[in-house]
Chains A and B, each alone.
Chain A
Amino acid sequence: MTRLFQIVLTLVLGAALAACGSGTKVPFTITAGSENEVLQPVVAAFCDQKGYECSFAYKGSLDIGLGLGDGTLDTDAVWPASSVWIDMFDTGRTVKHATSIAQMPVILGVRQSKAEALGWVGRDVTMRDVLTAVEAGELRFLMTSATQSNSGASAYLSMLTSALGGGAVLKPGDLERAEVRETVQTLLSGVERSSGSSGWLAELYLKAAEEGTRYDAMWNYEPVLKETNDALRQLDGDLLYAVYPADGVAIADSPLGFVDRGRGAELETFFTDLVAHLQSDEVGRRIAETGRRIPLAAGGFTAKPEPDWNFDPNRLVTAIRKPEPAVIRQALDLYQGALRKPSLTALCLDFSGSMEGEGEAQLKQAMSFLFTPELASEVLVQWSPADQIIVLPFDSSVRGHYAGTGDATEQQGLLDVVDNERADGGTDMYACAGEALDTIAATGNLAAFLPAIVILTDGRSDGDMDGFLQKWRQSVPHVPVFGITFGDADKSQLDTLAEVTSARVFDGRSNLSGAFRSARGYN
C-alpha cells in the first residue's frame, strides 16, 4: 500500500514538474486601440512573469464597440481609447473592472513652419482659428475617421462643441442647427487623408516626411504626437507644434477592462493584478514617460515638457463634456451621412475566371452590404449623396466603367451592375488601377474629395506593375491604392501597391464585408 502510494505520489509530482518545466502558459488576449501598442512590452513582461501568454490585437474603437455589442469579440480584455465606446455598445455589461490607465487629450499637431506662418506659436488657439485657416485654404490635416476611430471622433466632437459656442454640452436639437453643420462641414473639408487607426495615421505622416512630402498637420493623441516628434527629431527636426484648442479638447481615458467569459476567478484575479501593476508608481512613471497623463499617480511624475513643440503634460486642458450616447450616435451618423469630406472611390472588382462559384457569390454579397444603406449604416460606413463611386469590374481588361453617387437609388444601380457580372477570363489589376487613376484625375473639383482606389482580387495578377507605378508617380494628386485580398491572392503584389501609394491591404478571406468596411474608414 505504502509502495503504491509512493508510486502515485512520484507520478503526480513528476507530472506537475513536467508541466512547470514545459513552460505551459495560460493564454490571455487583449484587444486594444493602436495607440496602446507602445505599452505592449510593459504588459507582456508582467504576463510573462505571472505565467500568462498575452496576445494583443489592435482594432479601431468602433470595431471594439461593435464586437462587444454583438458578442463576437474573442478577447479576455479590451483597451479602447475611450470608455465612451464601452458605455455605448456593451449593453450586456460583459466588461468588468474598467479602469482608466492614462489620460490623452486629442490635439492638433501643426508643422512648425506652418504654425509660425499662421501666427499660432506662443498664443492660445481656438477652433475658430482652425476654421479660419481651413476656409482660407491655408491648412489641411490628417484625421482618422470619426466613425471608425476614437481620435477622429474626439476631434469631431470638439468641433461640434466649439461650433455651439460657450463650451455647452451637445444636445439632440443642436445637430439640426444649420450654422453648426456648416461650421463643422467647413472644418472637415480640411481633411487631407483619413484612416481607421490613429497609429497608422502617425505612420503615414512619418513615411511621407521620410519621402520628402510634408502634410500640414495631424489630429492625434498628445502622446502619439510625442512619439511622432521623437522620430522626426531623428529625421530633420521639423516637428509638429502642439495646438491645444483653448475652447476645449476631448480627452481619451484609455480604459482597460476585463471581459468576463466565464474562464474562472483566477483569470479575473490576474487581470486585477495587471491593472494594479500598471497603476503602481514604478510602472506609472514608465507610462508617464510616453507623454501620457496620469494625475495623482506615480507620485505626480510627468514626462519632461518639450517647449520646442509646445508639449507640456502638466498644462491644464479644459475637456469638452461628452454628450449622451444617443447624441453621440446621432452625431456619428451625421458625420458619415453628411458632414465628412466626400469620398471619390474607384472600386476595381476582380471577375476573373478563378472567382467563379463561391468567390463570385461572396463578392456580390459584400457589394450588397456596401450598397445597401440600411446595412452599411448599422456599422457607420454608409455613403452620402455627395460621395462619388466608380465601379470597375475587371478580368484581363476592364469590362466597364459605371459611375454613381451615394444616393440610395444610384447605389442600387451600381449593385445591379455588379449582380449582372459573371466570373470569366484572366486577371490584370494594374489595367484596372490605371483606368481608375485616369477617371479620378478627370473628376472636376478634385480637391473637394478624398480620393481612393480599392482593388479586390483573388489571384496573381498579370499586367504591367511598373507601368502603372510610373503613371501613378506622375499623377496629381497621389491617390492611395488599397487592396483587399481574397481566396489565394498574391498579397505581395497588393502590398507593393499599398506601400508605394501610402495605403493599406485588408484581409478579406475570412470576412469580405468586414474588409470593405475597414477600407471605408480610410476613405
Chain B
Amino acid sequence: MALSRRAFGLGLLGASVAGTGTYFAIKDRPEFQGLIGNRTELFGFLGGEKQAFIEDADVVRALGNHGLGLDARVAGSVEMSREPALLGQNPQFLWPSSSVMVDIARASGVKVRRDQVVLNSPIVVYSWEPVVAGLTKAGLVTATMSGHYELDLLALLSAVLAGTDWSELGVDVLYGRSRLVSTDPNRSNSGFMFAGLVLNLLSGDVADMEALDVVGEKARDIFAGMGLKSSSSGKLFDQYLAGGYGAEPMVVGYENQLVEWILADPERWQRIAKSTQPKPVMLYPRPTAYSAHPLITIAEAADRLLEALLSEPVQQLAWMKHGFRGPLGAVSGSADPAIAGLLPDGIGAVLPMPAANVMLAFLSRLAA
C-alpha cells in the first residue's frame, strides 16, 4: 500500500505527540523513571564512611534504576542530627551512622517520616601482627575457629586505665603505656559508638543515667588518655595505615574500612600479605557494638530511597564491594575473592548502645 508523503508526515507527527504525551505522563512515575533514565534528585546528609559506597558507579547505576539520584553531602552523624546550620538546609533525608541519632534528630525537631537501619558495620579495633602476638600471649586476644581474632575489650580498657605498660601485656616491642585510640566522640561516629561501648563495659550492662554517674569519670579518663583525637573515622584509619605500629598500635574503626582499602587496590594487599613487614590485623571486641546506619526520611520522595537501598542488588553491592552488612548484620552474596575469609559471617556478642540522653550527657562531660 502506498503511503502519501502527507499521510506519512501526519503519522509521524501523531506518533511524536503520543510519545511526548506518554513521556510526560510517566516521567515522574517511580516505576518508569529507571527505565527512561529520568531521575529524582534527593538532597541529604550522610556519614563520611558511606561516601565511597554512595559514589560507587555500580551503586549510582542501581539507584538510577529506581529513578533516583543523590546530592549527598558528608557531615558528622551528631552534627547532622542536631545542628541548625545543617538542618536549616532542608535535607530530604539523613543517613547517620547510629540508631541513637534517630532519637537525637527527633529531639532536635526533625519531622521523621520513616527510619530504618539499612546497613550495619561492627566496631572493631585495628592493630598489627606484633602487637596481636603479644596480646594473644597475655590472653587478651584469642583466635576463633574461623581464624578471626576476638579482643577482651574490658580487660584492655582496665589495663589502659591502670597505666599498664605494653611490655606487661606481652608487647615487648613497644615502649611505655598501652593505649587504644578512637576518634573524637563529639565529632565522629566511630568514637561516639566506642564511647557507648566503653560505658556499657565499665558499668557491666547497657549504661543508663545512674550508671553514668558511677563510671562516667573512668570513661572520661580513657578518652583523656588518648590525647589528640581525630575528627573523622576515615582520617584515623589513614593515620593508622600510614603510621604503622610504632605510631598507631591500636585504633578503633569500622569493620568495612579495611575491606574498602583492600578492594581499592587488591594487588597491594597481596604484596603486603607476601612481604615480611608487619601487617594490619582486625580485632573484634567481645562484646562489640553495631554501627547501624539508619536512613531517616524527611521528605516523601526520600521514602523511595529507603526501598532502593534495601533492594537485593544494592545490599549485595554493599557487602561484596564495601564490606557493609545488611539490616540485621547478615551478609548478602559472596564477597570479593580478595577479601574472602577476612570477615566472619556473623558477629557473636553485640550490645545495644545506651539511650540518647545518656550519650548526650556523656558527650557534654567529654567536651567540658
Residues of chain A having any CB pair with chain B under 8 Å: 83-84, 87, 98-100, 103, 166-171, 246-248, 251, 253, 293-296, 299-300, 316-319, 321-325, 327-328
A300 touches B272 (CB 8 A): yes
Given A247-B175, A251-B246, A295-B241, the answer on whether A169 and B272 have CB atoms closer than 8 Å is: no
Taking a contact as CB atoms under 8 Å apart, the answer to whether B175 and A248 are in contact is yes
Q: Kindly identify which residue among B175, B227, B275 contacts A322, using a CB–CB cutoff of 8 Å.
A: B227
Other-chain contact of B173, A98, A99, A294, A316 (Cβ < 8 Å):
A316
| Residues of chain A with a CB closer than 8 A to B45's CB | none
Which of B181, B225, B226, B246 has most chain A Cβ within 10 Å?
A: B246
A247 & B176 in contact (Cβ 8 Å cutoff): yes
* Nearest 6 CB-CB pairings of A with B: A167-B176, A295-B244, A100-B242, A169-B227, A319-B247, A318-B175
CB pair B246 A318 closer than 8 Å: yes
CA distance A65 to B225 in the complex (A): 25
Cα–Cα, bound, A327→B276 (Å): 38
Q: Are A167 and B177 in contact (CB under 8 A)?
A: yes
CB distance from B70 to the nearest CB of A (A): 17
- A327 to B226: give the CA distance in the assembly, Å: 13
A251–B224 Cα distance when bound, in Å, is 20
Establish whether residues A166 and B177, one from each chain, have CB atoms under 8 Å apart when the complex forms: yes
B16 part of interface (Cβ distance < 8 Å) = no
Q: Contact check, A322 vs B228: say whether CB atoms are below 8 A apart.
A: yes
The CA of A246 and the CA of B176, in the complex, are separated in Å by 10
B277 interface residue (CB < 8 Å to A): yes
B165 CB-CB contact with A under 8 Å: yes
CB-CB under 8 A from A296, the residues of chain B are 241-242, 244, 268, 272, 277, 280
> Contact between B275 and A84 (Cβ–Cβ < 8 Å)?
no
- Residues A323 and B174 in contact, CB atoms below 8 Å apart: no
Judged by a CB distance under 8 angstroms, whether B238 is at the interface is: yes
Contact (Cβ within 8 A) A248 B176: yes
Q: Given A300-B272, A317-B246, 18 other A-B contacts at CB below 8 A? A: A100-B242, A166-B176, A167-B176, A169-B225, A169-B226, A171-B224, A295-B241, A295-B242, A296-B280, A299-B275, A316-B245, A318-B174, A318-B176, A318-B246, A319-B248, A321-B227, A321-B228, A324-B228
CA distance A296 to B272 in the complex (A): 7
Main secondary structure of the interface of A (DSSP, over half): loop
By a CB distance below 8 angstroms, the chain B residues around A295 are 241-244, 277
Q: Which residue of B lies closest to A249 (CB)?
A: B246
A253→B239 contact, CB < 8 A: yes
Given the known inter-chain contacts A166-B177, A317-B246, please indicate yes or no for A100 contacting B277, CB distance below 8 A: no
Is there an interface contact between B228 and A323, defined as CB atoms closer than 8 Å? yes
On whether the beta carbons of A293 and B244 are closer than 8 Å, the reply is yes
- The smallest beta-carbon distance between B299 and chain A, in angstroms, is 27
Q: Do A84 and B176 have beta carbons less than 8 Å apart? A: no
Chain A positions within 8 Å of B271 at CB level: 299-300
Q: How far is the CA of A319 from the CA of B242 in the complex (A)?
A: 13
Contact A324–B227 (Cβ < 8 Å): yes
Chain B's nearest CB lies how many Å from the CB of A292? 11
Tell me if B227 and A170 are in contact (CB < 8 A): yes
B179 within 8 A of A: yes
CA distance A83 to B247 in the complex (A): 14
Binding site for A on B (CB under 8 A): 163, 165, 173-177, 179, 181, 224-229, 231, 235, 238-239, 241-248, 268, 271-272, 275-277, 280
Residues from chain B with a CB closer than 8 A to the CB of A316 are 173-174, 245-246
- Chain B's closest residue to A124 (CB) is B175
Among A87, A103, A171, the residue within 8 A (CB) of B243 is A103
- Partner among B228, B248, B280 whose Cβ is within 8 Å of the Cβ of A84: B228
The interface centre, meaning the residue of A98, A168, A299, A319 with most chain B CB atoms within 10 A of its CB, is A319
Task: Tell me the complex Cα distance, A321–B276, Å.
Answer: 27
A253 lies within 8 A of B228 (CB): no
Query: Using Cβ atoms and an 8 Å threshold, which residues of chain A touch B238?
Result: 99-100
Is the pair B165, A87 in contact by a Cβ cutoff of 8 Å? no
Taking the closest CB of chain A, its distance from the CB of B283, in whole angstroms, is 18
Nearest Cβ on chain A to B301's Cβ, whole angstroms: 26
Q: For residue B235, which residues in chain A have a CB less than 8 angstroms away from its CB?
A: 98
Complex Cα spacing A299 to B270, Å: 10
Distance of B241 from chain A, by nearest CB (Å) = 6
**Mind listing 8 A-B residue pairs with CB under 8 Å?**
A166-B176, A171-B224, A296-B241, A299-B275, A300-B272, A318-B174, A323-B227, A324-B228
A283-B76 Cα distance, complex, nearest whole Å: 34
Asked if A319 contacts B246 (CB within 8 A), the reply is yes
Residues of chain B contacted by A321 (CB below 8 angstroms): 179, 181, 226-228
> In whole angstroms, how far apart are the Cα atoms of A84 and B224 in the complex?
17
Cβ contact of B177, chosen from A99, A168, A317, A319, cutoff 8 A: A168
A100 contact from B227, B239, B276, Cβ within 8 A:
B239
Chain B residues near A251: list those with CB within 8 A. 243, 246-247
CB distance from A424 to the nearest CB of B (A): 54
* Bound complex: CA A43 to CA B196 (Å): 44
**Are B243 and A300 touching (Cβ within 8 A)?**
no
Q: How far is the CA of A327 from the CA of B229 in the complex (A)?
A: 13
State how many angstroms separate the Cβ of B174 from the closest Cβ of chain A. Answer: 5
Q: What are the residues of chain A within 8 A of B231 when measuring CB–CB?
A: 87
CB distance from A349 to the nearest CB of B (A): 41
**Interchain CA distance A68-B73 in the complex, whole Å:** 23
Q: How far is the CA of A400 from the CA of B248 in the complex (A)?
A: 57
Which chain B positions have C-beta within 8 A of A293? Answer: 244
Given the contacts A103-B243, A318-B174, A318-B176, A300 and B228 also touching, CB distance less than 8 Å: no
A98 to B231, CA, bound (A): 13
Given A253-B242, A300-B272, the answer on whether A246 and B227 have CB atoms closer than 8 Å is no
Shortest CB distance B5–A (Å): 25
Q: Are A87 and B228 in contact (CB under 8 A)?
A: yes
CA distance A428 to B241 in the complex (A): 58
Cα distance, A163 to B244, chains bound together (Å): 25
Q: A321-B179, A322-B228, A325-B228 are in contact. Are A103 and B275 (CB under 8 A)?
A: no
Residue of B227, B243, B275 ringed by the most chain A CB atoms within 10 A: B227
Residue of B nearest to A105 (CB): B246
B347 CB → nearest A CB, Å: 26
Complex: how many Å from CA A325 to CA B184?
A: 12
Query: Which residues from B are CB-within-8-Å of A324?
Result: 227-229
Q: Which residues of A contact B227 (CB under 8 A)?
A: 169-170, 321-324, 327
Closest B residue by C-beta to A88? B228
Closest chain B residue to A101, Cβ basis: B242
Nearest CB of chain A from residue B296's CB, rounded to whole Å: 24
Chain A neighbourhood of B179, CB < 8 A: 169, 321
Q: Which residues of A contact B275 (CB under 8 A)?
A: 299-300
B174: chain A residues within 8 A (beta carbon): 316, 318
CA distance A327 to B227 in the complex (A): 9
CA distance A318 to B243 in the complex (A): 11
